[in-house]
Structure 1
Amino acid sequence: MTKRHAGGVGVSPTRHGAVLAAMLTLILGVSAAIYVGVGSNDGAQRQEALTHAPRNGVAPASTGVWVGAWSASPSGSEPGTETNGLAGRSVRNVVHTAAAGTSARVTLSNLYGHGPLTITHASLAVAATANTPAAAADTMRRLTFAGNTTVVIAAGQQVVSDVVRVAIPHDGDVLITTYSPTPSGPTTYHAHARQISYTAEGDQAADVTGTPYTTQSTHWRYVTALDVLSNEADGTVVVLGDSLTDGITSTMGENRRWTDVLSDRLRAAAGSSDAPRYSVVNQGISGNQVLVSGLGRPAGNPSGLTRFQRDVLGRTGVKAVVIVLGVNDILRNPGQADPDAIVAGLRDLVDRAHARGLRVVGATLMPFHGHRGYTDQRESVRRTINDRIRSGRVFDAVVDFDKALRDPYDPRRLRSDYDSGDHLHPSDKGYERMGEVFDLESLKGAAPAEL
């Protein structure tokens, strides 16, 4: 290679500075391209969304990892919305975050719609306080989709918004608002939010006061995920479960599901133990089973096997999976539930996770003596499944919720202070206990190698 000495082709100081400036511009351009590629590696729809610069704010910071800050599984179509959906109303969903971030994006779903859903205005803001439709100062952002303020979501589909630059807090509320002016058919929703959300007449998506939002709702509508670009998490834990994970008997608006406790523990332990730096997203659906889906097309309350791709593998930055399913396969079976079939279904879920290199923690099935569905035969099936789970031949690691919450004097039932009163679902104290007994280090590592 020829070396250029001082006596060769000379470069003036002015020209030298220009060359450096040009090189710096090139490097910054390449870095931005790399950022877009990394940020969009979890699905074609996200890739399309992120290749268009948002029109409503500064370009997102390029540091951190995309993780799930919140998510909820669409569980069916909302009764009473079969014809018009929520046409002419602004829907302000209140969601609680499991990770902080410097940028955010939102997933909207029309999975259960029978026709196209037209969203002409969508926004995101940090809530001013807990349990309010009012936005914190200077946090309101209009959402765009491939650079457009209007998006049409086909029946059975979902869309991911462009990235907006906004500081999202950990353990805080975020307001995600949609407005559709036209009838769209059934509203896709998550039935049991344990969180108050709001609606207002007309297009109030940009409102920051919360005053127009006079109607309350206990559902999450249309929105199914909030992702953030985070410096405090390296990945996402997805919890696939039923009402015990959905938190059906936890106190409304206080975020006392066992997954909320797990999320807080993981963040508190970050940097001070061998616990991984993960956020937690809750993919519980009340009444969910491993094997059997509900009625309809698409099926309402789809089984764990049916929704695993959508609700687990489709989540952002997933590193580990927690499975808390099986009780409803016993309770809702009109005949005699087959423990072999239920365990085989659980193993199928584990195999799918392993194919993606994901570690799987599974839970034992908690007792339900005293519940209206209890029989001695069903108790026998529950114990058989728990024996298989504890043997270590189903999951990579086990969290023994049965042992942690059962009555030591009658292991067929929940301990009285852990019982919500229906003898199936925990109290707030019971949910707290579930989150506390979870071994954080059990989430660490990849799937074991198949021999």
Structure 2
Amino acid sequence: MKTTGTTFRRAGTALLAATTLTALSALSALPATAATAATADPSRGGAAWHGTWAASPQAAAAPFGPNWSERGFDNQTVRQTVRVTTGGTRARIELTNRYGSTPLRITGATVARTAEGGAVRPGSVRALTFDGRGSVTIPAGGTLLSDGAPFRTSAFETLTVTLYLAGPTGPATFHFFSGTTSYRAAGDHRADVAGTAFTETDSSWYYLSGVEVSGGAHTARRDSIVTFGDSITDGVGATPGADDRYPDELAERLAAAGSPRAVLNHGIGGNQVVNDTTWAGEKGIARFKKDVLTERGVGTVVLLEGINDIGGSGPSFPGGPTPEVSVNRLIEGHRTLIRQAHARGIKVIGATLTPIKGSFYFTPENEAKREAFNAWVRTSGAYDGVVDFDRAVADPADPDRILPAYDSGDHLHPGDAGYRAMAAALDLDEL
């Protein structure tokens, strides 16, 4: 999936059907390195792979309080749940050490079908391999794919990926806002069915940046959709664990319309188009190449980003103010993203910025910038299509404010109903 930085592929050999700790330990005794595993790519053997779930990586940070990224892991097992948007007959995971300063040792990994809490469904635990081996080392800056595995998945099924990290990892590459629960246990519990050992919880994803499938009805087509943006794409304000972000709602809407497609969420809360931040990821014009252009099978990207560029220069931006961004500079940032996408044959749907009145970002100056930028989105002709998220969620009686029924409560992020309205605003024919 990834081709930027230090990137590696995995051979599409069988995922082992080991479900006992003995078998998993035997696999872990066979080391692999990302360098050796890079020699084979399952796609060269004719398997058509595409992403079915994704999360953009971030460097270790704690903008809103402690999390596991700062210290990383040491003789611990981390169990993470993700919901895929399309199905297939084979699956593989993507792991990343993009922001690590030292090599990352994955002692072992499993995939299973999710049950309640930190538990998984009996009989579903499968050991993942890397170039036929049970463990792998990912260099600092590197990203890799596991071997392709015979593991049938269905659209909107929730999977559990478990990683055992036997040695100290140092600060962890992660995705801060997951909107779901991750679990941690002391020692090696990758083969556990019960969740009793997983006594710690967190709301981020660690090292896991993608799930790919092959063998489904749509894996040979270039029709996947990436949603790219900030916290409103990431789903801040949606009910945790309910999968009600606007990209989730879009995937469900496409399936209900008889046109199921993979929808990959590459939003990062707090992210900006033209400024790097200390906690919210690389600027959009830099990470777009790594997060979007390396996804397999993508045909369209929905681009919703810029409100943090507008509001980030004020004192309310977490981590401290970032340099002020003019409307013209924000527009040029979007033009850069459009050029990057078009160079790869990817269609771009531009989105207007949603209302901010009543939020900590609102000032007359910021509102004037938002309105000027939205006018450009609607009229410039720079995109292949436009979705007016602003008007989709605005209060008709006060168009600078989110409709109360759509507001999560902070007057900046939509709630579940607002995200459904955003998904409904997209023209499926344009996609």
TM range (shorter): 0.7 to 0.9
| Contact in 1 for aligned 2:2/2:295 (Cα 8 Å) | no
Q: Are positions 1:283 and 2:263 aligned together? A: no
Distance 1:83 1:261 in 2: 32
Question: Of 337, 347, 350, which aligns to 2:338?
Answer: 350
Give the match for residue 180 of structure 1.
165
Distance 1:229 1:108 in 2: 18
Question: In proportion to residue count, which structure has more helix?
Answer: 1
Give the match for residue 51 of structure 2.
68
Question: Of 388, 396, 417, which aligns to 1:408?
Answer: 396
Question: Of 237, 243, 251, which aligns to 1:263?
Answer: 251
- Deviations along 1:331-357, whole A, 9 cap, x unmatched? 113476311111111011011101111
Determine helix, strand or coil for the equivalent of 2:225.
strand
| Pair 1:47–1:378, CA change in 2 (3 A) | closer
**Structure 1 residue 285: Cα displacement:** 0.3
**Structure 1 residue 188: Cα displacement:** 1.1
- Deviations along 1:383-409, whole A, 9 cap, x unmatched? 111111111422110110011111111
Aligned 1:112-261 pairs, distance under 5 A: 112-128=99-115, 132-233=117-218, 234=221, 235-261=223-249
| Contact in 2 for aligned 1:83/1:184 (Cα 8 Å) | no
Question: Of 323, 338, 341, which aligns to 2:329?
Answer: 341
Question: Of 33, 39, 49, which aligns to 2:10?
Answer: 49
Determine helix, strand or coil for the equivalent of 2:339.
helix
Q: Which amino acid aligns with 1:241?
A: G
**Structure 1 residue 440: Cα displacement:** 1.0
| Contact in 1 for aligned 2:84/2:157 (Cα 8 Å) | yes
Structure 1 vs Structure 2 CA RMSD: 2.4
Give the match for residue 108 of structure 1.
95
| Contact in 2 for aligned 1:364/1:401 (Cα 8 Å) | yes
Give the match for residue 77 of structure 1.
60
Distance 2:2 2:69 in 1: 35
| Contact in 2 for aligned 1:114/1:184 (Cα 8 Å) | no
- Deviations along 1:227-278, whole A, 9 cap, x unmatched? 11142433321111100011111101010101110000111222xxxx5x42
| Contact in 1 for aligned 2:119/2:194 (Cα 8 Å) | yes
Give the match for residue 15 of structure 1.
none
Determine helix, strand or coil for the equivalent of 1:134.
coil
| Pair 1:133–1:232, CA change in 2 (3 A) | farther
| Pair 1:155–1:336, CA change in 2 (3 A) | closer
How many percent identity over aligned positions? 37
**Structure 1 residue 82: Cα displacement:** 7.2
Give the match for residue 312 of structure 1.
292
Moved over 6 A (4+): 40-47, 60-64
Distance 2:408 2:425 in 1: 19
Determine helix, strand or coil for the equivalent of 2:371.
helix
**Structure 1 residue 157: Cα displacement:** 1.1
Distance 1:200 1:316 in 2: 33
Q: Are positions 1:94 and 2:81 aligned together? A: yes
Aligned 1:425-444 pairs, distance under 5 A: 425-443=413-431
| Pair 1:47–1:243, CA change in 2 (3 A) | closer
- Deviations along 1:59-104, whole A, 9 cap, x unmatched? x999984221111011221546578521111000111111111110
Q: Are positions 1:330 and 2:310 aligned together? A: yes
Q: Which amino acid aligns with 2:198?
A: Y
* Structure showing greater Rg: 1
**Structure 1 residue 46: Cα displacement:** 8.3
Task: Give the alignment's TM-score, normalised by structure 1.
Answer: 0.82
Distance 1:408 1:66 in 2: 44
Q: Are positions 1:301 and 2:281 aligned together? A: yes
**Structure 1 residue 55: Cα displacement:** 6.1
**Structure 1 residue 425: Cα displacement:** 0.5
Distance 2:253 2:215 in 1: 17
Distance 1:187 1:151 in 2: 16
| Contact in 1 for aligned 2:309/2:324 (Cα 8 Å) | no
Q: Are positions 1:398 and 2:382 aligned together? A: no
**Structure 1 residue 316: Cα displacement:** 2.2
| Contact in 1 for aligned 2:114/2:121 (Cα 8 Å) | yes
**Structure 1 residue 44: Cα displacement:** 11
Give the match for residue 406 of structure 2.
418
Determine helix, strand or coil for the equivalent of 1:430.
helix
Larger mean Cα displacement after TM superposition, 101-110 or 326-335: 326-335
Task: Give the alignment's TM-score, normalised by structure 2.
Answer: 0.85
Larger mean Cα displacement after TM superposition, 135-144 or 353-362: 135-144
Larger mean Cα displacement after TM superposition, 175-184 or 72-81: 72-81
Distance 1:156 1:411 in 2: 44
Give the match for residue 28 of structure 2.
none
**Structure 1 residue 428: Cα displacement:** 1.0
| Contact in 1 for aligned 2:271/2:280 (Cα 8 Å) | no
Aligned 1:353-372 pairs, distance under 5 A: 353-372=341-360
Determine helix, strand or coil for the equivalent of 2:430.
helix
**Structure 1 residue 375: Cα displacement:** 1.0
- Deviations along 1:405-444, whole A, 9 cap, x unmatched? 111111111111111111110111111111111111111x
Q: Which amino acid aligns with 1:430?
A: G
| Pair 1:47–1:115, CA change in 2 (3 A) | closer
Determine helix, strand or coil for the equivalent of 1:404.
helix
Gaps of 5+ in 2: 19-41, 315-322
Gaps of 5+ in 1: 1-39, 444-451
Distance 2:208 2:87 in 1: 19
Distance 2:360 2:70 in 1: 36
Q: Are positions 1:377 and 2:365 aligned together? A: yes
Q: Which amino acid aligns with 2:134?
A: T
Determine helix, strand or coil for the equivalent of 1:313.
coil
Equivalences, count: 392
